[in-house]
Amino acid sequence: MSENVKNRYEFVLFFDIENGNPNGDPDAGNMPRIDAETGLGLVTDVCLKRKIRNYVDIAKNQAEGFDIYVREGAVLNTQHRKAYSSAGIKPEPKKLPKNEDDASRVKNFMCKNFYDIRAFGAVMTTEVNCGQVRGPVQINFARSIDPIVQQEVTITRMAVTSEKDAEKKDREMGRKHIVPYALYRAEGFVSANLAEKTGFSIGDLNLLWESLQNMFDHDRSAARGKMSSRNLFIFEHETLLGNSPAHKLFDLISVTRKDLTKPPRAYSDYLVTVNKTKLPDGVKLIER
């Protein structure tokens, strides 16, 4: 693998959705998530990390060092036993190895072999205990630029579930929850200090940028409609500690509606601008 990340990074991702549900809330009948006070739409960090994991899984096809720890149908204890087997250690229920070197070997195996642990960290204190790892990559909830309209659309199915139903009706009704259109903004961070501890490399970082740009193209479904990554802005610091507070960098990027007389229905209805004149010394802006 390439050398570990040596610089601090922040990034801003803009993505949009058209006639779909970007992240349903199971506590609200799977309606699109919303900030009740502002009406702005929300997409959780967990949702975005899931899409990154899925893209890496496709792109690397479980190549050495790029397995995915949290995958659909995975049994976490089975994943943990791989680390103990590699180290030649018998696990004790719910306990890390007493020997610090053995404990480190177990954690290092998990970081080395699972991309999402290297990136996001993991709490692995299950029956087969591999400890906890803090990851260098963190992502905030994405928030829509404008308030969203949650629509419930009635649909029909030209078939019924059972023979009994067939005697009473020839079709069944259903519902879909959609947002007609929304542009979302997600902000994230990459800590060089934590990257050193998990072994998160420059190659891993480039794969992260690739994932953010392409993850929606491999996540199509009838429920999510058309989702697209629109802009990725990366702030690269010259140093490990960084050259400017993150919030000051995020404030350099603004979004405005071109026409306030009609609701937005396309990315072209917005103007995304960056105040490059106020970019601090020691920080480089990369646009993708």
Give the pLDDT confidence score for residue 163 in this predicted structure. Answer: 78
**Domain tally for the chain?**
1
Closest to 129 measured CA to CA, from 90, 68, 77: 77
Distance separating alpha carbons of residues 55 and 53, to the nearest angstrom:
5
Give the pLDDT confidence score for residue 170 in this predicted structure. Answer: 66
Q: Is the pLDDT of residue 288 over 90?
A: yes
Q: What is the per-residue pLDDT across 31-70, written as a single tens digit (0 to 9) for each?
A: 999 999 999 999 999 999 999 999 999 999 989 999 999 9
Angle between helix 202-214 and helix 45-60 axes, rounded to 10 deg: 110
Give a yes or no: residue 110 inside a domain. yes
Give a yes or no: residue 130 inside a domain. yes
Q: Is the pLDDT of residue 29 over 70?
A: yes
How far CA 266 is from CA of 124, 149, 167, 226, 245, in Å, comes to 42, 15, 45, 11, 32
Six-digit token string for 93: 């229920």
Give a yes or no: residue 158 inside a domain. no
pLDDT mean over 260-280: 97
Is residue 205 within 8 Å of 3, Cβ to Cβ? no
Give a yes or no: residue 171 inside a domain. no
Sorting pLDDT into bands at 50, 70 and 90, what band is 161? confident
Give the pLDDT confidence score for residue 201 in this predicted structure. Answer: 97
Give the pLDDT confidence score for residue 107 in this predicted structure. Answer: 97
Q: What is the per-residue pLDDT across 80-116, written as a single tens digit (0 to 9) for each?
A: 999 999 999 999 999 999 999 999 999 999 999 999 9
Residue 53: φ, ψ to 5°: -55, -45
Give a yes or no: residue 160 inside a domain. no
Give a yes or no: residue 191 inside a domain. yes
pLDDT mean over 238-245: 97
Q: Is the pLDDT of residue 249 over 70?
A: yes
Q: Is the pLDDT of residue 195 over 80?
A: yes
Six-digit token string for 237: 């610091």
Q: What is the per-residue pLDDT across 162-187, written as a single tens digit (0 to 9) for each?
A: 777 776 776 777 788 999 999 999 99
Distance separating alpha carbons of residues 280 and 253, to the nearest angstrom:
14
Sorting pLDDT into bands at 50, 70 and 90, what band is 204? very high
Q: Which residue has the higher pLDDT, 162 or 128?
A: 128
Across the chain, mean pLDDT equals 94
* Angular region, 261: left φ>0, alpha ψ -120 to 50, beta rest: alpha
Q: Which residue bears the tokens 């490399």?
A: 201
Give a yes or no: residue 166 inside a domain. no
**Domain span at 93:** 9-153+176-287
Distance separating alpha carbons of residues 184 and 40, to the nearest angstrom:
9
pLDDT mean over 204-229: 95
Give the pLDDT confidence score for residue 154 in this predicted structure. Answer: 84
Sorting pLDDT into bands at 50, 70 and 90, what band is 7? very high
Give a yes or no: residue 162 inside a domain. no
Give the pLDDT confidence score for residue 155 in this predicted structure. Answer: 84
